[in-house]
Chain A
Amino acid sequence: MSNPVIKVESLSKKYIIGHQRQEHSASLRDIFTQGARNFSRKILSPFSRTETGGQAATTEEFYALKDVSFEIEQGDRLGIIGPNGAGKSTLLKILGRITEPTSGRVSIKGRIASLLEVGTGFHPELTGRENIYLNGAILGMTRAEIKRKFDEIVAFSEVERFLDTPVKHYSSGMYVRLAFSVAAHLEPETLIVDEVLAVGDAKFQQKCLGKMDEVSQKEGRTVLFVSHQTGMILSLCNKALLLRKGEIEMAGTAPGVVTHYMNQITTSAPSFEAAFSKDRDISIIKAEAFSEEGKPETVFKHTQPITIAITCKINKWVNEAEIRLGVRDSRRNVFTTDNEFNVKPEGGSDTVLARVTIPGETLRAGRYFFSLMVFVRKIGGIDSVKDSFSVTVMDAGSKWATEDKDYGCVFVNCSWELAGS
C-alpha cells in the first residue's frame, strides 16, 4: 500500500541560455535592438530565409531537470545528492513552488515549507525578536502560532541574551541557529532543507539533526534534505536520490546511494605506487592488498583476511619511526588506525616491507580506503598518503547480508547473555 506524500511525474525544467537569457534580466535595449535588427534584416533581404535560423543559433536550451519521477512516502527523510549543477536546487525550488516546471507534474499532500539557505528574509537591522516574527511570517506561520512557539524557538536557538540586538551584530553561528530554530518550529507536513547545517558548531548541528529526526520520526513528517555532506545525509535520511545532469541516476536507501556516489567521486586506484623522494627521510613507495593465497586483490569476501603490503624506502633512518595504517569507510569516517613500531630494517637495508593483515570477518560489506603514514610520535608525519587505495568487501552470507540498512562497517563478536524476567 503506497501512499505518497509527494509524487513527481516526469518533471522537467528548461532554461534558455545564450542570447536572450531567460534567467537574467534583459534590458529594454536588447528588445529594441533585437527587433530593429530583425526588422532591418527583413527590409534588406526580404526573401532570405536565414534570419530565423540565425537567431536560434544564439540561444541554447538547457535542461536543469529532465524527466524526473519519484515518490516520497509519509515520514520519509529523503536526501538528495549529486554533483554541482545536477539539478538539486532546481528540484527543491519546484517542489517549494518558487519556480514553475516546464513540463511534468507534482502532486503534494499538505503544507510544504522550504528552507533554502538559512535566514531567508532576515533583516540585518532588525533584532532577533523582530526577525523571529518576520521570518515566521515569511515561512507561512501566523502571528498567533509564532507567539505560541516563541519561547521554544528562543530556547532552541540559544541566543536569549541577544534577543534585542540587531542580527547584523550576530556571529554567523548565532545567525544560523536563530534562523534554523524558526524553521524547525514550523509545522508543515513536508520540510525542504537545503544546506542549512553547513554552518554552526558541531554541538548545534547535532541538535538540529536530532530535531529533524524527531520531526520526521515522532511526528511523521516528511523531510527533503539537500547536502554535499554525505555523512549528514546518512545520519538524517533513510532514503536518497542521486541526481546527475538533471536526471535520476540512482534512487534507493540512503546508505546504498551514498556509497554508490562516494565510489563514483573517488578516483582511488586498486594499488598505490609513488616515486621515491630524496626530500623525505622515509617514503612510502608502494602499497597493495593481497589475499591469503598471496594474490593481489581488490575485492574480498567478508570472511577473507586482507593483507596489505606496504613498502617504504629509507633515505635516512629516523629513530622511533612507525608505520601506520588508517582505514576509512566509504563515508570517509576513519574507524580504525593501527601501527607498528619495530620497522627498522636489519643489516642496513634501505627498504622496509611491512605486511599488515586485517583478519577475516572484520569488515562488513562496503568499500574501504587505506591511509598510510610513516610517523614519529611527538614529531609528526614523515610521509603520509590519504586514501592511497581501496578495496571492496562483499558480504558472502553473513546474517546481515540481506539487510539493506546501514548497520555499521565492522563485525564485533559481542557476547549476549539472556535471562528470564
Chain B
Amino acid sequence: MVIEAGRTERHYWKDLWRYRELFYFLAWRDILVRYKQTVVGLTWALIKPFLTMVVFTVVFGKLAKMPSNGTPYAIMVFAALLPWQFFSNALNDASNSLVGSASLISKVYFPRMVVPASSIITGFVDFLVSAVIMAGLMIWYNFAPDWRIITLPLFLGIAFVAALGGGLWLTALNVKYRDFRFIVPFTLQFGLYLSPVGFSSSVVPQKWRFLYSLNPMVGVIDGFRWAILGGQPEIYIPGLIISIAAVSAALISGVWYFRKTEKTFADVI
C-alpha cells in the first residue's frame, strides 16, 4: 500500500467492502444508544410519527378539508409521512454524522463513507418500526393494498438514494462549514410543507406539476401513495423520472464531493 500526496486511494471501494460490517455496527450502536435511559424506549419511534399523523389529519383533513380521493385521510397522510420521516431523519442524521464522530475520524482510519451511510441505515430501522403503524392503520380502516404494494421498494430506494446523496453533500460540507448544522433542520422543516405530506399532490395545479416534481420527495411520496393506497390517479411518470434523475445526480455528485474532501476531514474537523 502506498500513501502519497493527492493520490486517490485505489482500493477505496474494496476497503469500503472490507469495512461492511462497520456499517452494521455503527447503525446498531446508534439504535442501541438512542433509546438508552429512556422510559418508553423504542416506543418513541412510534409516538412521533403517530402524533404527526394525527395533527396533519386534523389540520389538513378536518379543518382545511383537503381532498383525499376517497381514502381515509389518516392513511393518506401516513403513506406520505412514512417516506418523508425516513428521508428527513436520515438526511438530518447523516448530515451531522461526521461531525458527531469527530473523535473517530481524527484517530482511526476507515472509509469515511461508512459513517453517513450507516446513519441512513439507522433511519431505515426507524422506518420499519413506524411501518407497524401503517399496518395498524390499514387494519383499523379495513384497507387492503393490491399488487402495487410490491413496487414499494422502488420508491423506498429513491428515498434512500436521495437521503444518501444529500447526506454525503451535507455532512462533508458540515465538516468545514458548521452552518449546515442550522441550515439542514430548517430546510427540512420547510420541506415538510413543500412536499405533499399533509395533502395530496393532486391539489397542485397541473401547470406547476413538472416544476413541483423537481423536489425528489414528491415522486417518492406520490409513489408511496400509489403503491399503498391504489385507486388514486395514475402516477405522474415525467415527475417520477425527474425524481430519479435528480436523486441520481445528487448521489453521484455527493460521492464525488465526499471523496474529494474526505482526505482533509481529519485536519479540518
Contacts and interface: CB of A to CB of B under 8 A. Distances in A.
Given A25-B177, A138-B110, A99 B104 contact: no
A174 B33 CA distance: 21
A137 B22 contact: yes
B245 interface: no
Contacts of A23: 267-268
Interface in A1-58: 15, 22-29, 31
A105 B4 contact: yes
Given A98-B109, A100-B263, A125-B37, A105 B3 contact: yes
B176 A26 contact: yes
Chain B's interface size range is 35 or more
A101 B2 CA distance: 12
Contacts of A139: 108
A133 B266 contact: no
A15 B4 contact: no
B107 A120 contact: yes
B32 interface: yes
Interface string B1-24: 111111000000000001101101
Nearest to B262: A100
Interface in B223-269: 263-264, 266-269
Interface in B19-75: 19, 21-22, 24-26, 28-29, 32-33, 36-37
Given A137-B21, A140-B19, A96 B108 contact: yes
Contacts of A98: 105-109, 266
Nearest to B103: A120
Given A114-B107, A120-B107, A133-B25, A99 B267 contact: yes
Given A23-B268, A134-B29, A142-B21, A117 B3 contact: no
Contact of B4 (A28, A31, A96, A106): A106
A219 to B, nearest CB: 20
Contacts of A99: 263-264, 266-267
Contacts of A97: 3, 109
Interface of A: 15, 22-29, 31, 93-109, 112, 114, 116-117, 120-121, 123, 125-126, 130, 133-134, 137-140, 142-143, 166
Interface of B: 1-6, 18-19, 21-22, 24-26, 28-29, 32-33, 36-37, 103-110, 175-179, 263-264, 266-269
25 contacts: A22-B267, A22-B268, A25-B177, A25-B178, A27-B177, A98-B107, A99-B263, A102-B5, A104-B5, A105-B3, A106-B3, A107-B2, A108-B2, A114-B107, A116-B107, A120-B103, A120-B108, A123-B33, A126-B29, A133-B25, A134-B28, A137-B24, A140-B18, A142-B21, A143-B21
